[in-house]
Structure 1
Amino acid sequence: MTHDVIVIGGSYAGMAAALQLLRARRKVLVIDAGKRRNRFAEESHGFLGQDGVNPGEIARKAREQLFAYPTLSWIEGMAEQAEGEKDAFVVTTADGARHDGRRLLFATGVSDALPEIEGLGERWGKSIFHCPYCHGYELDQGRIGCLATGPMSMHQAQLLPEWGKVTLFLNGSFVPDEAQRTDLAARGVTIEEAPITRLEGKADVRLADGRLLPFAGLFTATRVLPSSPIAERLGCVIEETLFGMQIQTDAMKETTVSGAFACGDAARVPHSVSLAVGDGAWAGAQLHRSLVF
């Protein structure tokens, strides 16, 4: 069986794209490894109509709605290889099965490279976040710690005072110049230069000099990479952004390989559930147009 579109990645962007295609009665295969980027978070915020809902529940309900369309096929597994060309792509999954498709859509999402700070990993998505629009309101204007990872953290530290009193922990990652220090002071941001030893409690920062500073929540700017190398293996160009690496696409969400498209966090910045859904919906419509015209 040859599918009209094979969607690699069945999270928010991939499902949003698939929905547009299914409603055009196109044969769609979704291959999903089941590792949503926000699987560590208990609530999703900023997505109209779903504010405060568990992200897993949002994904479950979306998938249930897709299964109402008879032209959907769904495989739970890892897509490991993509080859071929427009109208004749082949995707091979981890079990060795080969699947034919006229078009490809990479909606693989991204992986976050977290700062190497003891105690950060187990708090990620619970009391340590990357997006204040998604999680800042719930901190109730309490004390916020910003864990710097490089010069881009300056922008995060400038923005975070909208949600609370901010301390920027440089942790040896970069040195603000005088103009930046003046700007941060004007925003009420405290700069802490002592190295971080570890994180404790809910969101407490233990410094090398022994001090323990408590916070309502912490933010940090991670560096992202597409969570799968499959697009790069096909020959798609991967480009550098301020947030990390992503799959390069044009305005129609087509990659540098004709007939292969990409959407969601793996192909746009910045990142959020609502932006991923919008990007996926646009990609799905453009995929359909590429099949028609």
Structure 2
Amino acid sequence: MNDVIIIGGSFAGLAAALQLGRAGRKVTVLDTGLPRNRFAGHSHGVLGHDHKPPQDILAAARQQLARYPAIRLVATRADNISGAIDDFSVFTSDGETLKARRLILSYGVVDQMPNVPGFADSWGTSIVPCPYCDGFEVAGQHWGVVWSGPQSHQSVRLFRDWTDKLTVFADGHDIAPELQADLALRKIPVVDGRIVEIAHHTGHIETVNLDTGRHVAVDILFAQPRNKPSASLHESLGLATVDTPTGIVLKVDERRQTSIPGIYAAGDLATPFLPSVTQSTWQGAMAGIFAQQSMLA
């Protein structure tokens, strides 16, 4: 029997495996090889790995884990989970049944691209969600902000640390009068109408095209499309979730444990705000440590 099965082998899952493997705990990591940030050319703000391709960082991590005999990495999908603490069963797409005392869910989320031509093609290149991840590289350029609700006002205030050239795209939303007044005071134009196309060249935005007929040129577009967990295991388990402006995440306590004893969660799957590689790595490490501590005699 495994001490821990980790479902999801990106930054959070591998960080959890590292802590458990170093404690001599038997660990199996199940991974489909489709990390959320595979569309990004580089990861930024990662200490010691700044401006490296995320796939290169993950490849180096997997290579480093190979020296720990207690860790097994398996390229497969977890299809179902049953059992309870100290006796979980995980059924894989390969037809294998694995047993474990604890589980860590780190299978992340997938971004749901809007049905706008050119949006998905530009995602990760010139349409990005996070200023901490990509802001430095495009500082001082003309940023567009796709309004998604009142939380976008905080984004606009935040973005002024990187650029003073901002345009807000209402994209069909009614922006509250007091927020419109504040944007006007900040000299940030608001463009009405829905976005119907992203005109681009190999993923680099040329114009944002609107149903009003306007074509607005920006250098980069910040957007927060909705996302959803990349698997439905949490639903079949009945785990508690938390609603966020862009989707749901798993509810965890201060020790990364979900609403079912013995099941922990880390990474974007359990991060309500500003997900990042750094945060996922930290959460994964802590989930591994807390899972280990929960098994002490």
TM, length-normalised to structure 1: 0.95
Of residues 227-236 and 104-113 in structure 1, the stretch that sits farther from structure 2 once superposed is: 227-236
Equivalent residue number for residue 268 of structure 1? 271
Query: Counterparts in 2 of 1:180-219, with a 5 A limit?
Result: 180-201=179-200, 202-203=204-205, 204-219=207-222
Equivalent residue number for residue 281 of structure 1? 285
Question: Does 2:90 align with 1:86?
Answer: no
Give, in whole Å, the separation in 1 of the partners of 2:19 and 2:58. Answer: 16
User: Displacement of 1:269 after TM fit?
Assistant: 2.4
Closer, same or farther in 2 for the Cα pair 1:151/1:117, shift >3 Å?
farther
Q: Which secondary structure state, in structure 1, belongs to the residue aligned with residue 295 of structure 2?
A: helix
Query: Counterparts in 2 of 1:221-236, with a 5 A limit?
Result: 221-236=224-239
Query: What letter matches 1:212 in structure 2?
Result: H
Deviation track 1:164-193 (CA, whole Å, cap 9, x = no partner) reads 211110110x21122111222233321000
Give, in whole Å, the separation in 1 of the partners of 2:279 and 2:225. Answer: 18
Question: Does 2:243 align with 1:240?
Answer: yes
Equivalent residue number for residue 59 of structure 1? 58
Give, in whole Å, the separation in 1 of the partners of 2:9 and 2:138. Answer: 31
User: Displacement of 1:265 after TM fit?
Assistant: 0.8
Deviation track 1:117-144 (CA, whole Å, cap 9, x = no partner) reads 2210111111101101101111131101
Give, in whole Å, the separation in 2 of the partners of 1:151 and 1:272. Answer: 22
Equivalent residue number for residue 158 of structure 2? 159
Give, in whole Å, the separation in 2 of the partners of 1:223 and 1:154. Answer: 17
Q: Which secondary structure state, in structure 2, belongs to the residue aligned with residue 39 of structure 1?
A: helix
User: Displacement of 1:225 after TM fit?
Assistant: 1.8
Closer, same or farther in 2 for the Cα pair 1:210/1:243, shift >3 Å?
closer
Query: What letter matches 2:243 in structure 1?
Result: E
Equivalent residue number for residue 15 of structure 1? 14
Query: What letter matches 2:279 in structure 1?
Result: L
> CA RMSD for the aligned pairs?
1.4
Closer, same or farther in 2 for the Cα pair 1:242/1:208, shift >3 Å?
closer
User: Displacement of 1:77 after TM fit?
Assistant: 1.1
Query: What letter matches 1:24 in structure 2?
Result: A
Question: Does 2:174 align with 1:175?
Answer: yes
Closer, same or farther in 2 for the Cα pair 1:125/1:25, shift >3 Å?
same
Query: What letter matches 2:99 in structure 1?
Result: D
Deviation track 1:183-237 (CA, whole Å, cap 9, x = no partner) reads 2223332100033220012212122343322222111012222211112212211
Give, in whole Å, the separation in 2 of the partners of 1:169 and 1:116. Answer: 16
Give, in whole Å, the separation in 2 of the partners of 1:116 and 1:168. Answer: 20
Give, in whole Å, the separation in 2 of the partners of 1:185 and 1:115. Answer: 28
Give, in whole Å, the separation in 2 of the partners of 1:161 and 1:191. Answer: 15
Of residues 235-244 and 248-257 in structure 1, the stretch that sits farther from structure 2 once superposed is: 235-244
Q: Contact 1:153 / 1:221 at 8 angstroms: preserved in 2?
A: no
Deviation track 1:248-283 (CA, whole Å, cap 9, x = no partner) reads 111101111111111111012220000111111111
Equivalent residue number for residue 294 of structure 2? 290
Of residues 34-43 and 204-213 in structure 1, the stretch that sits farther from structure 2 once superposed is: 204-213
Count of residue correspondences: 291
5+ long unaligned stretches in structure 2:
none
Closer, same or farther in 2 for the Cα pair 1:241/1:263, shift >3 Å?
same
Query: What letter matches 1:42 in structure 2?
Result: G
TM, length-normalised to structure 2: 0.94
Equivalent residue number for residue 130 of structure 1? 129
